[in-house]
Structure 1
């Protein structure tokens, strides 16, 4: 069940802080996009009231560690169009114990909209999939979904995780605390930290209420415990 766009826009704009509306990119040159990738649902459609949101931020150096030569990830990982730190994986509506997904889309995503999102979400297929699976359950049009993402991301001040990666005794709790220190009003229980099986940072998940206030993450979003040893790949 989609929440009203007016409610979304008003709540998000009220929380936005002045900041750059780019991903944590060392540089980014948007590519030409001639078509929107086709996306096939991999699970049944599920509609339900939205109870909150999660914005997932992927740590690009870890994602690209084994994908530098993968042509399907050339924009994000090839190094010829830019280098990235934290990028947006997606904005996901939550539904209590589950989540809505693959709702009926009232409008089609356009190549221009995909291109405009590429410095935040550096993959055409990623933009298309996140809109089809998640955004379609939030708002009527893809431009609205992408606008919410830009406002939320633009309201964050991102820590220098490249520098933090050099600290001895790094833990998941330190990764959370660094984001809270940079963003007054955030709280550590509203931040999920996903580490892979070897303890490397993969993703940071920011949990929001229906009114886009920081809210405690569900256990499935919380990820690693504060005491878990962590490492951050710098892409070297």
Structure 2
């Protein structure tokens, strides 16, 4: 996989008090994997039922969770529910956005807030190359985005700005290194993204067999990279890791 270069976030912050978005005017940014992705038609918005109680807690920061598709899709290539992401019919994916999550003190987070606006099929389709699942987009808005802003287009727009600001290292090459560790995975990401990123800003989630599942990027309330707490930091630097490249 060739390292993907994305334009940096020029200026932007989401102010949790009142959930007001303040963004500088920036040109439309092309998704780095768009050349691999054929956007499917979306005719309806999946219905999402809350799986927990509403929790309206103050927002002190954010997590951008990136899912490693080859590992996610390994047991799901024939799944109708994950057809867009995993069948290969709409392209092959590396990292995709799992979600942008508001954080609260002491490891808590707000969830399932009262949404002021409805998500539309057009909004889902616009972001399917970043988050290749209509149900995932609908769930992330309902569970997390509704606690950040009143409008789904704002939540998805901020998510895209953060996503497009990142550079993804060549994890295909890195996966072939002897003695690969979680620390090497996070350091490679920090090195690829400039001096504002340090390894302790990057969480690494491995599954029980040691394969890479997700990278979790920790942001302050003003969307600056910040030190991950223990829960988001994940695997220690010295833990052995593997990266599934797909077939």
User: What TM-score bracket applies, with the shorter chain setting the length?
Assistant: over 0.9
Q: How far apart, in 2, do the equivalents of 1:65 and 1:48 lie? A: 36
Aligned length: 231
How does the TM-score come out when normalised to structure 1? 0.93
Structure 2 SS opposite 1:82: coil
Q: How far apart, in 2, do the equivalents of 1:112 and 1:87 lie? A: 19
Instruction: Tell me which residue corresponds to 1:91.
Output: 100
Is it true that 1:201 corresponds to 2:212 in the alignment? Answer: yes
Instruction: Tell me which residue corresponds to 2:53.
Output: 44
| Cα RMSD for the two superposed structures | 1.9
Structure 1 SS opposite 2:105: coil
Instruction: Tell me which residue corresponds to 2:136.
Output: 126
Equivalent residues of 2:16, 2:221 under 8 A apart: no
Instruction: Tell me which residue corresponds to 1:145.
Output: 155
How does the TM-score come out when normalised to structure 2? 0.89
Structure 1 SS opposite 2:215: strand
Is it true that 1:226 corresponds to 2:240 in the alignment? Answer: no
Q: Pick from 9, 22, 26 the counterpart of residue 9 of structure 1.
A: 22
**Residues 35 and 19 of structure 1, relative CA distance in 2, 3 Å threshold:** closer
1:9 Cα deviation from its structure 2 partner: 3.3
CA deviation map 1:9-61 (0-9, x unaligned): 33xx59x9x99642546600110000000000000000011000000000000
Equivalent residues of 2:203, 2:233 under 8 A apart: yes
Is it true that 1:186 corresponds to 2:197 in the alignment? Answer: yes
CA deviation map 1:93-131 (0-9, x unaligned): 001121000000000000000001100000000000000
Q: How far apart, in 1, do the equivalents of 2:28 and 2:88 lie? A: 25
Instruction: Tell me which residue corresponds to 1:64.
Output: 73
Q: How far apart, in 2, do the equivalents of 1:31 and 1:112 lie? A: 11
Q: How far apart, in 1, do the equivalents of 2:65 and 2:114 lie? A: 23
Q: Where in structure 1 do 4 or more consecutive aligned residues deviate above 3 Å?
A: 1-6, 18-21, 23-26
Q: Pick from 141, 155, 159 the counterpart of residue 165 of structure 2.
A: 155
List gaps (5 residues or longer) in structure 1. Answer: none
CA deviation map 1:153-178 (0-9, x unaligned): 11101111111111111100000011
1:219 Cα deviation from its structure 2 partner: 1.2
